[in-house]
């Protein structure tokens, strides 16, 4: 999982903005991937950040679900977006993801094998980051501090592990407010950025995943 250049640029960018919490609606839609793409095929409102290899992606419709389709062959890339969400008002983060290929031999716990087919990052205004991920080997529920750029603290939570649930859409719902309090032992500041990522360059393998319907919700 790349945690230096890509993430550092992301955080420097988002922290340069004045962020105010969202409050007026029942939910804050971060992405439904149905609003179109720019001339490079990148979803509107998102930025593509490629660290190594080719960024292979497409916007697709799978039944009634609009999604971004990510494919990694010995590569690492991400889409990132500025957001403005106060998790005290919108504590629940929900999204759909589907993994169809895991990077063989990957394991969050081993730096030389630290690849994942699907990762979702939440960046907070104090430069703390939570990453939810689907790992090949590290067990479900495993939590770990992971290396990051200077002055950035990243904590990972393994939500799915192995291939038993691959090939089907899964809806995740996390209480991001409580996750932050548990991981950092204090009240969370606003969320200011999000990133979805795939990588397989450490294991020199390949991976494939889909993301859809990323939303913050009120209780």
187 pLDDT above the threshold of 60: yes
pLDDT for 3 equals 62
pLDDT for 203 equals 98
Q: Of 65, 17, 59, 20, nearest to 40 (Cα)?
A: 59
- Kindly state the average pLDDT of the residues 70-80: 98
pLDDT tens digit string along 127-136? 999 999 999 9
Assign 173 a pLDDT band (cuts: 50, 70, 90): very high
Tokens representing residue 207 in the block: 């991976």
22 pLDDT above the threshold of 90: no
pLDDT for 147 equals 85
Residue 93: other Cβ atoms inside 10 A: 26
80 pLDDT above the threshold of 50: yes
- DSSP-based three-state secondary structure for 112: helix
Fold of 5-209: Jelly Rolls (2.60.120)
Answer with the residue of higher pLDDT: 36 or 202. 202
pLDDT tens digit string along 143-167? 999 988 899 999 999 999 999 999 9
70 pLDDT above the threshold of 50: yes
Assign 186 a pLDDT band (cuts: 50, 70, 90): very high
Tokens representing residue 130 in the block: 């939570």
Domain ranges of the chain: 5-209
> Beta strand pairing status for 116-124 and 191-199?
antiparallel
pLDDT for 1 equals 59
What span, in angstroms and rounded, lies between the C-alpha atoms of 53 and 74?
6
Q: Of 219, 203, 217, nearest to 75 (Cα)?
A: 203
What share of the chain in percent tops pLDDT 90? 83
Long-range contacts of 159-167 (CB under 8 A, 24+ apart): 159/132, 159/133, 159/134, 160/99, 160/134, 160/135, 161/134, 161/135, 161/136, 161/137, 162/102, 162/136, 162/137, 163/102, 163/136, 165/99, 166/98, 166/99, 166/100, 166/101, 166/102, 167/98, 167/99, 167/100
Opening angle at CA 107, ends 206 and 193, nearest 5: 80
What share of the chain in percent tops pLDDT 70? 89
According to DSSP, residue 115 is labeled: -
Opening angle at CA 162, ends 212 and 155, nearest 5: 70
Sign of CA dihedral 88, 19, 47, 42: positive
Q: What distances in angstroms separate CA 119 from CA 35, 79, 186, 198, 219, one per listed residue?
A: 22, 11, 24, 6, 24
Query: In 119-148, which positions are buried (b, 16+ CB within 10 angstroms) versus exposed (e)?
Result: bbbbbbbbbbbbbbbbbbbbeeebeeebeb
pLDDT for 49 equals 95
189 pLDDT above the threshold of 80: yes
């Amino acid at each position: 999982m790349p945690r230096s250049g890509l993430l550092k640029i992301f955080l420097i960018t988002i922290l340069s903005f004045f962020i105010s919490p969202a409050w007026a609606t029942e939910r804050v839609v971060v992405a439904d991937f149905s609003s179109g793409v720019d001339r490079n095929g990148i979803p509107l409102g998102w930025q593509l950040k490629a660290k190594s290899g080719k960024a292979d992606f497409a916007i697709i419709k799978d039944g009634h679900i609009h999604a971004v389709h990510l494919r990694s062959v010995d590569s690492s890339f991400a889409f990132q977006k500025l957001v403005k969400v106060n998790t005290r008002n919108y504590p629940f983060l929900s999204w759909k993801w589907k993994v169809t290929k895991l990077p063989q031999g990957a394991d969050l716990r081993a730096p030389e094998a630290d690849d994942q087919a699907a990762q979702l990052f939440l960046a907070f205004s104090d430069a703390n980051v939570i990453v939810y991920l689907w790992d090949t080997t590290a067990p479900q529920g495993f939590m770990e501090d992971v290396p990051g750029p200077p002055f950035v603290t990243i904590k990972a939570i393994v939500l799915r592990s192995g291939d038993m649930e691959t090939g089907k859409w899964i809806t995740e719902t996390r209480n991001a407010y409580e996750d932050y309090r548990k991981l950092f032992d204090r009240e969370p500041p606003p969320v200011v950025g999000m990133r979805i990522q795939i990588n397989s360059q450490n294991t020199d393998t390949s991976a494939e995943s889909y993301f859809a319907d990323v939303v913050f919700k009120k209780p």
